[in-house]
């Protein structure tokens, strides 16, 4: 077996995590969450998304959140955009990186973006052009890369085809999303191996939801295939408004705890991150799913 010496984590809780919360969260609380996360050693934080307020009301204050941040040196603050309008807003707000998304399944792409995959790729090419002119790097997200809530299994060849298209547009990184948490370790291992073979020259990231409790197992399988970049969401926050039944992402603290126990560096202070997890629970007013946060709580007390 081969293990990496280090993995690199993108914290997506402030965006992917909070977007599905029904109760409005004030700007100052979102900013406080982002700032606390930046103090744990995390160096990449997906802070906001620039989507239409009617589509995702929780992200309607993206500009205000970005304007209120006290940025920590060395931390990359990322904004998700669905289209050119969103990219223009993101660039005007001073994001360090843009993320833009397409689904591997036509039905989810239509539900999520109200467009066909072909139309979305055309829009992404325009976003790529804007980002290039602004000198801002961008990452392409492929949702439902391992399964779709409407269509079921997704062919790996379709995912690879999309990844090649995003790479050719100029994406420096591509994230494969298990949007509804149906992936299993063998599938993940084979997908990662196929990606490295077919899409060289681009950074691969993995985004696992923990709907069926397999997220950490999928991380292990991906590491075995050579992956070192993963998304996590503090406390296991999250879900997708257009993916019925999907739970949150793998909890960042669970990911950090597992990696550190395996002798794999993360650069993240686990105890500080657990504290942030409990703070996140206070913000949303409901019990979060992370496991390590509960295990370490008595120690913190």
CB-based contacts of 26, cutoff 8 Å, min separation 6: none
CA distance 254 to 252: 5
**Nearest to residue 80, comparing CAs of 54, 61, 99?**
99
Question: In angstroms, rounded to a whole number, what is the distance separating the alpha carbons of residues 249 and 211?
Answer: 8
pLDDT digits (tens, 9 = 90+) for 243-294: 565 668 999 999 999 999 999 999 999 999 999 999 999 999 988 988 998 8
Dihedral angle of Cα 75, 204, 171, 196, to the nearest 10 degrees: 150
pLDDT value at residue 47:
98
DSSP codes of every residue in 128-159: HHHHHHHT--EEEEEETSS-BTTTB---HHHH
pLDDT of residue 1: 77
What is residue 298's predicted lDDT score, i.e. its pLDDT? Answer: 55
* Cα–Cα distance for residue pair 187/153, rounded to 1 Å: 11
CA distances (Å), origin 57, targets 14, 15, 182, 283, 286? 14, 12, 27, 17, 19
User: Max Cα separation, the chain?
Assistant: 53
Long-range contact list for 61-65, CB < 8 A, 24+ apart? 61/27, 61/30, 62/89, 62/90, 62/93, 63/89, 63/92, 63/93, 64/27, 65/27, 65/30, 65/31, 65/34
Q: What local confidence, expressed as pLDDT, does residue 248 receive?
A: 81
Residue 248 near residue 255, CB atoms below 8 Å: no
Q: Residue 48 in contact with residue 80, Cβ under 8 Å?
A: yes
Q: What are the start-end ranges of the H helices in the chain?
A: 27-38, 62-68, 84-93, 106-113, 117-134, 156-169, 185-198, 215-224, 252-261, 270-284, 292-300
**Domain range summary for the chain, segments of one domain joined by +:** 8-300
The answer to whether 240 is a known catalytic residue is: yes
In the CATH scheme, what is the code of domain 8-300?
Answer: 3.20.20.70
Residues in the chain predicted with pLDDT less than 70, given as ranges, are 239-247, 298-301
Helix (H) or strand (E) holding 208: strand 203-208
pLDDT value of residue 301: 46
Q: Is the pTM of this model over 0.85?
A: yes
For the chain, how far is it from start to end, CA to CA, in angstroms? 38
Q: In 3-state terms, what secondary structure has residue 279?
A: helix
């Amino acid at each position: 077996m081969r293990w990496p010496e280090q993995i690199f984590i993108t914290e997506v809780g402030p965006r992917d995590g909070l977007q599905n919360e029904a109760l409005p969260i004030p700007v100052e609380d979102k900013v406080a969450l982002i700032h606390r996360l930046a103090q744990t050693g995390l160096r990449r934080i997906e802070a906001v998304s620039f989507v239409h307020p009617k589509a995702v009301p929780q992200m309607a204050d993206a500009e205000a959140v970005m304007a209120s941040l006290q940025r920590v040196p060395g931390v990359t603050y990322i904004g998700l955009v669905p289209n050119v309008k969103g990219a223009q807003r993101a660039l005007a707000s001073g994001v360090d990186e843009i993320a833009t998304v397409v689904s591997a399944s036509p039905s989810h792409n239509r539900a999520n973006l109200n467009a066909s995959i072909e139309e979305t790729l055309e829009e992404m090419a325009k976003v790529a052009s804007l980002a290039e002119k602004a000198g801002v790097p961008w990452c392409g997200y492929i949702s439902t890369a391992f399964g779709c809530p409407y269509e079921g299994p997704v062919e790996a060849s379709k995912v690879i085809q999309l990844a090649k298209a995003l790479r050719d547009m100029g994406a420096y990184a591509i994230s494969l999303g298990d949007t509804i948490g149906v992936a299993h370790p063998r599938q993940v291992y084979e997908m990662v191996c196929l990606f490295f073979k077919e899409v060289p020259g681009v950074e691969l990231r993995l985004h696992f939801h923990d709907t069926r409790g397999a997220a950490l197992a999928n991380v292990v399988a991906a590491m075995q295939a050579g992956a070192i970049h993963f998304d996590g969401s503090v406390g296991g926050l999250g879900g997708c408004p257009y993916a019925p039944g999907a739970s949150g992402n793998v909890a960042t603290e669970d990911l950090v705890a597992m990696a550190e126990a395996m002798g794999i560096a993360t650069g993240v202070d686990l105890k500080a991150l657990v504290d942030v997890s409990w703070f996140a629970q206070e913000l949303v007013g409901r019990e979060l799913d992370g496991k390590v946060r509960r295990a370490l709580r008595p120690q913190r007390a």
